[in-house]
Chains A and B, each alone.
Chain A
Amino acid sequence: MIFNLANPLRFQRLTEKIEPITLNIAIILLLVGLFFCFFGSPPDYLQGETVRIMYIHVPCAWFSLMIYSIIAICSIFSIVFKHTLADLISRSCAPIGACFTLATLLSGSIWGKPTWGTWWVWDARLTSELVLLVIYLGLIIINNAYEDKSKADRYSSILAIIGIINLPIIKWSVDWWSTLHQPASISKFSSPSIDPSMLLPLFIMTFSFFFFFISILLVRVRGEIIQRKIEVIRFNRMV
């Protein structure tokens, strides 16, 4: 199945069918999520109403890491197997990941002001997230810097693989160093330290953002495939 979809043309046909469905699911989940964010969840006993920023800040932070993981996996595939679709996905993911990282930093900064009393501190979690944004920007710049797309894909894959080192730093920075940022409240290995009334909107918003991400990714990959087709036609004309 995976190798069947690995053909860019087959993938393009599939994206045309799936994209409207994912977008509709994302919008429905967003509306339901917003209802639970503002009508169904209580204020925090310590942070008050500002805890509602968590419902968008945390999903954005998760996706900033998840999208980078996708780029890293695609980069490994690209270097090892010289896979065109892996290059296209990696190239399409970088701007989306940069947007989620920027959204994480800005929403976190706004949350930090009433909670910590400052917009920004050079704390390990915040700094490593900022480094992630710089890496994303580096990938976007490399992807657009070369006319030879295969060269750009190779260099951006190398940067993406080197940048993997930043992911565990972001994840465990709150445990390794003494930081202002709170440690993880939702862990895979223990029960969450958040009340279910707050957990529900958080998960609905996470799924909504997930479908938004898929929808944007499919549109961008389709665009990349068409762009490559245009380049092939132009090249054939010149020859």
Chain B
Amino acid sequence: MNYFLNFINSGDHFSYVLSSYLIVFFIIFLIFILSNTKTKKLEKEFVNLIKNEEKK
């Protein structure tokens, strides 16, 4: 706990560490969300195409 309290009260260092963590996680979660969205969209499109094929 002492390590964390010292870290929070470290002034400039706190903002450098926090901003780097936020940027890295933002980038990783962004690629994760974009990949998931793209794949789900393609899955929907594929299901619709299969349905249309069956109707024909």
Contacts and interface: CB of A to CB of B under 8 A. Distances in A.
Contact of B35 (A40, A50, A103, A216): A216
B39 A53 contact: no
Nearest to A107: B20
Interface in A129-178: none
Contact of A212 (B1, B32, B46): B32
A99 B20 contact: no
A232 to B, nearest CB: 10
Given A96-B31, A229-B46, A114 B39 contact: no
B6 A110 contact: no
A121 interface: no
B49 A233 contact: yes
A219 B36 contact: yes
Contacts of A74: none
Contact of B7 (A38, A107, A209, A233): A38
A49 B7 contact: yes
Contact of B30 (A39, A99, A113, A227): A99
Interface residues of B, number: 32
A39 B4 contact: yes
A212 B7 CA distance: 27
Interface centre among B4, B23, B30, B32, by most A CB within 10 Å?
B32
A102 B23 CA distance: 10
B13 A50 contact: yes
B27 A99 contact: yes
A114 B12 CA distance: 8
A227 B20 contact: no
Interface string B17-34: 101110110011011100
Interface string A16-52: 0000000000000000000000111111000011101
A39 B42 CA distance: 42
A171 B24 CA distance: 21
A48 B24 CA distance: 20
A48 B10 contact: yes
B38 interface: yes
Given A50-B16, A53-B16, A114-B13, A219 B35 contact: yes
A72 interface: no
B4 A106 contact: no
